[in-house]
Structure 1
Amino acid sequence: MFSSREEVLRLTNELVEIESVVNTIGEIDIANSLYKIIESYPYFQNNPSYLIKTKTENDEIERYNVLALVKGTKEKSNKTVILMGHIDTVGIEDYGKLKDKACCPYELMKALSIESLPNLVKEHLDSGQWHFGRGVLDMKSGVASHLFLLKYYSEYPEELSGNLVLLAECDEEDSSHGVLSALGDLKRWRDEQQLAYIALINSDFVAPRFEGDKNRYIYKGTVGKLLPSFFITGSETHAGSCFEGLDPNYIAAELTRQISYNPDLCDESLGETTVPPVSLKQTDFKPTYTIQTALSAYVYFNFFIHSWSPKDVLIKLKDQAELAFNHALSNLEKRHRKYCEVSGQRYSELPWKTRVIIYEDMQKLLVEKHGEAFLKHMEIFKSKLLLDKSLDTRMFAARVVEEEWNWMIDKSPAIILFYSSLYSPRIEMTGKNEREQNLLEALNHAVETVQAHYPHPIVTRNYFPYVCDMSCVALSDDAEGIRAVSENNPGWSTKHYVNYEAIREINVPVINIGPYGYDAHNRYERMEIQYSTEMVPNLTNEIICRLLGMNLRQTIEDAADETVAKG
């Protein structure tokens, strides 16, 4: 086993102390600092073109990725393993009065020690075996592990058959501008340096799956994430005559009841099941108070997938939306009838009908009816809408649908179903080709080798359960699945665009070996030091050696001793 604990912990602290909250200037600061760290290594002073800092593309915010390449000299080989990790973090507001210490682990732990803490948090803090602070878990200790290995092989390239690429990317916590921009750099290096990417090892955090879970997980592939969105139109009326109209908020509420937490919308594959969808936003578009009901409402949901395609999800959710609309109208009819009975008013059947339209179908109707006039109008509308920097991709898409709805001839109440944000593709690692088979065999070997040195079970699973940038380096979807994303996102090619073919061109098998801990995105974020600083780099290195055909007889600790002796 390699002696990596002290160095990985030191690098972790060095990175954590640079506040790098996503969408802030801190993303520039950490890229600059990481670049300087790597630049100080003699290998990169001798090979300056193997270290680059590149600005993200089509991004409203200035920020950078850092990429580094080490070419082994043990034997000539174009086989290359990519080590990937993100250098941004979520915000620090959740630390409250300890906000100024959030990125200073030792000061933070000292301050926490005099607070009243949950029992498990206190147990971990008192043990001295856990490290606290923003980014220690998600995921600067993972980047530190990769950096440790990069540094070692830059000092001993004669032990490396093949090549290593480090990709430290920004903007993982928001829109993945970092990794999507880095695809071009990876492609350029692949072509210029004649590299063959055979595997990518990500190092995002892992956590217990349930209370009392002792396993430390390694993930093969990753969950996919979609943001299905629903623009709901009603029929406006005075609140004093409520049954004369149809409140879109009423339909939205029933839609949320139907979809949120619905286990029928869990995607089971390879013996693993996604969590069900849940609403992330529900609102109407009334700008101010009036006594009238709203004209329209908007709801969108987080939706994880393992095996379903984006097209499959649209079909399933159209069915769910029709069920919700039917139930809402049925219940409304019952309430209307009862109201008429208790108030003595004459009953007449309400006119509303269930109507659910998938966005691309609405587009076809509008183009057929209005032709070039509609297309030209929407082009101008979108260009003006882009000037409103307060609109994120989700609200931009909703405003586009709202404007397009004005062109509909039949304006009876409806639900319009579309996607309004980034699709993070699902990735299945099943051994379907030689590269996947080799990576899975190397992973099994690494777990078997390292497990003997660690007391808790190291367990492999098929899908990383959180959204991560592994989704942006490989595709399991076919062209039809991707078409369903582009044709059903109202902001596509204006506010939002992803070159999925660039992902398909890299298309490298992926696994995640990351630091272990609790409470990522929480003020008690912490990592277990032993697993995160010792097991993670050792597991990663075993896979590198296996994939590149290396029989590493000498440990990093031995090599370090030799360096001291030579000095």
Structure 2
Amino acid sequence: MLKCRNEVLTFTKQLVNIESIVNTDGEKVMAHSLYTLLSSFPYFTEHPSHLALVPTVQDEQERYNVLAFVKGTKGSSNRTVILMGHMDTVGIDDFNQLKTVACSPEELQKALLRENLPDSAKEHLDSGDWMFGRGVLDMKSGVASHLYLIKYFSEHPDELDGNIVFLSECDEEDGSHGVLSALKTFKEWKEEHRFNYVAAINADFVSPRFEGDENRYIYKGTVGKLLPSFYITGAETHVGSCFEGLDPNFIAAELTRQINYNPELCNEAFGETTVPPVSLKQTDLKPSYTVQTALSAYVYYNFFIHSWSPKDVLHKLKEQAEIAFRHALNMYEDRYKRFCTISGEPYANHPWEPKVLLYEEMEQLLVQENGDAYINHMAEFKQALLLDTELDTRMFAARVVEEAWKWMRDKSPAIILFYSSLYSPRIELTGKTADEESLIQALDHAVEEIQPSYPHPIVTRNFFPYISDMSFIALSDDDEGINAVSSNNPGWGTKHFVDYSDVRDLNVPVINIGPYGLDAHKKLERMEMSYSLEVVPNLTYKVIQKLLD
């Protein structure tokens, strides 16, 4: 066992002390500080070309990745293992009056002693084996573990028959510009140094799956994440004559009732099941108050996948939208008839039928009907819309659909289904290739060796359950699945673009061995030090040993 606790703890504190909230200048400060720290290691003083501070590409923000590599001297193998972890964090507004100490674990700990804490958090605070603070769990202690290992191997290159690449990327908490940019550096180094990438080890945090769960999890592969979005149109009317029109918010509410928490939309694979989708935004698109019902509404949902493709998800959600639309119309008719009965007003039949289109179906229809006039108009519209820097990719997509809808000849109530944000691909690690099988065997060997020295079960599962940059290290989807993303994202090629061919070119099997703790992204974010500072680096070390010995 490597005696690493104190050094990993020191690195963790150094990293946490630097506030590096995503989409702020703190990301730049973090990258430069990490680069300076690595520069101080003797190996990188002697081999400065093995260390790089690389700006992201196609990014609206100025920020950087930090990459380094150590070439082993034990043999002549080009086998290369990537150690990766993100340096950015979510914000600190949730700390309220404790914001000033959110990134100072020792000061925060003193302040929390005066707080009214849940019993479990108080027990952890008093134990002396838990560290609190923004980023300690997600995921600076993980980066610290990899920092320790790159330093260790820089001092012991004779233990490696192969190479180690270190990546600490920015922007994991938002758009993954960091890891997507790093793919290009990986490709350059592959060509320049003849690296044969055989495995990647991420160090993102792990947590209990349920209350009372004592397992410490290691994950092979990762969940995929989509953001299916729905633009909903109704029939406008004055609220005083509400049954002369159809409120799109009414349809949106029924759509959310149909999709939210729906177990039919959980994806099971290898005995593991995703959580069901849940709405992340639901709004109408009225710019201000009027006594007219809204013209349109907009709603999007988080959607996790294990084995389904983005095309599968569109098919399933189109069915769900049709069901919801039918339910909404039936309920509308029932309530309208009951109103007519009690009010004495005459009933007038409405001709509406459920109409659900994929964005690519609407696009094909409009191009067929309008040709270049539509194509040119939408290209100009998107370019003008890019000038509004306040629009994120999700609202940009909604505005594009809203504009396209104006060209529809049939404007009866409808739902348009599309993707409006980054697709983080799913990864299955099953042993189907020699590299996958080698990584699985190395992991099993490492757990077997380390488990006797740690009291809690170390358990391997198939899918990392949170969004992470692991998604961009390999690709399990075929081209048809990926094309469903690009064809149905209205901002594709303007506001949003991902070169998934870069991911497919790398295509390295990836696992996650990360710090253990609770309440990531919350005020009481904390990590267990014994596992995170001792077990995690040793597990990772054992995997590397097995792969590159």
- Normalising by structure 1, report the TM-score: 0.96
Q: Does 1:396 align with 2:417?
A: no
Pairing of 1:116-515 with structure 2 (within 5 A): 116-515=116-515
Task: Tell me the SS of whatever aligns to 1:403.
Answer: helix
**Cα distance in 1 for residues equivalent to 2:342 and 2:444:** 70
Q: CA deviation at 1:374?
A: 0.5
Counterpart of 2:484, as a letter, is: A
**Cα distance in 1 for residues equivalent to 2:404 and 2:359:** 10
**Cα distance in 1 for residues equivalent to 2:300 and 2:372:** 30
**Cα distance in 2 for residues equivalent to 1:523 and 1:288:** 35
Counterpart of 2:90, as a letter, is: V
Task: Tell me the SS of whatever aligns to 1:401.
Answer: helix
Q: CA deviation at 1:175?
A: 0.5
**Cα distance in 1 for residues equivalent to 2:511 and 2:90:** 23
Identity of aligned residues (%): 68
Give CA-to-partner distance per residue, 1:225-271, whole Å, 9 cap, x none.
00000000111000011010010000000000000000000000000
Give CA-to-partner distance per residue, 1:169-203, whole Å, 9 cap, x none.
00000000000011000000011000000000000
**Which stretches of structure 1, 4 residues or more, deviate above 4 A after TM superposition?**
none
Give CA-to-partner distance per residue, 1:363-395, whole Å, 9 cap, x none.
100000000110000110000000000000000
**Cα distance in 1 for residues equivalent to 2:92 and 2:174:** 15
**Cα distance in 2 for residues equivalent to 1:7 and 1:545:** 20
Give CA-to-partner distance per residue, 1:4-40, whole Å, 9 cap, x none.
1110001000000000000000000000000001001
Give CA-to-partner distance per residue, 1:483-521, whole Å, 9 cap, x none.
000000000000000000000000000000000000000
What is the RMSD computed on CA atoms of the aligned residues? Answer: 0.5
Counterpart of 2:213, as a letter, is: D
**Cα distance in 2 for residues equivalent to 1:347 and 1:131:** 66
**Cα distance in 2 for residues equivalent to 1:346 and 1:38:** 79
**Cα distance in 2 for residues equivalent to 1:431 and 1:536:** 23
**Cα distance in 1 for residues equivalent to 2:244 and 2:492:** 37
Task: Tell me the SS of whatever aligns to 2:54.
Answer: strand
* Corresponding residue number in structure 1 for 2:18: 18
Q: CA deviation at 1:291?
A: 0.5
**Cα distance in 1 for residues equivalent to 2:157 and 2:41:** 13
**Cα distance in 2 for residues equivalent to 1:218 and 1:156:** 26
Q: CA deviation at 1:468?
A: 0.1
Counterpart of 1:478, as a letter, is: D
**Cα distance in 2 for residues equivalent to 1:153 and 1:322:** 57
**Cα distance in 1 for residues equivalent to 2:310 and 2:183:** 22
Counterpart of 2:248, as a letter, is: P
Pairing of 1:84-99 with structure 2 (within 5 A): 84-99=84-99
**Cα distance in 1 for residues equivalent to 2:410 and 2:473:** 43
Give CA-to-partner distance per residue, 1:430-489, whole Å, 9 cap, x none.
101100000000000000000011000000000000000000111000000000000000
Aligned length, in residue pairs: 549
Q: CA deviation at 1:90?
A: 0.4
Counterpart of 1:275, as a letter, is: V
Q: CA deviation at 1:159?
A: 1.8
**Cα distance in 2 for residues equivalent to 1:362 and 1:379:** 16
* Corresponding residue number in structure 2 for 1:564: none
Give CA-to-partner distance per residue, 1:55-104, whole Å, 9 cap, x none.
11111111100000100001111000000000000001111111000000
**Cα distance in 2 for residues equivalent to 1:510 and 1:311:** 24
**Cα distance in 1 for residues equivalent to 2:496 and 2:502:** 16
Task: Tell me the SS of whatever aligns to 1:452.
Answer: helix
Give CA-to-partner distance per residue, 1:145-173, whole Å, 9 cap, x none.
00000001111112221000001000000
Give CA-to-partner distance per residue, 1:512-547, whole Å, 9 cap, x none.
000000000011100000000000000000000001
Q: CA deviation at 1:351?
A: 2.0
**Cα distance in 2 for residues equivalent to 1:57 and 1:473:** 17
Q: CA deviation at 1:348?
A: 2.4
**Cα distance in 2 for residues equivalent to 1:271 and 1:259:** 23
Task: Tell me the SS of whatever aligns to 1:531.
Answer: helix
Q: Does 1:525 align with 2:525?
A: yes
* Corresponding residue number in structure 2 for 1:71: 71
**Cα distance in 2 for residues equivalent to 1:246 and 1:117:** 48
Give CA-to-partner distance per residue, 1:93-129, whole Å, 9 cap, x none.
1111110000000000011012111100000000001
Q: CA deviation at 1:347?
A: 1.6
Q: CA deviation at 1:2?
A: 1.1
**Cα distance in 2 for residues equivalent to 1:117 and 1:238:** 51
**Cα distance in 2 for residues equivalent to 1:390 and 1:534:** 44
Q: CA deviation at 1:350?
A: 2.1
Task: Tell me the SS of whatever aligns to 1:148.
Answer: helix
Counterpart of 2:332, as a letter, is: L
Task: Tell me the SS of whatever aligns to 1:253.
Answer: helix
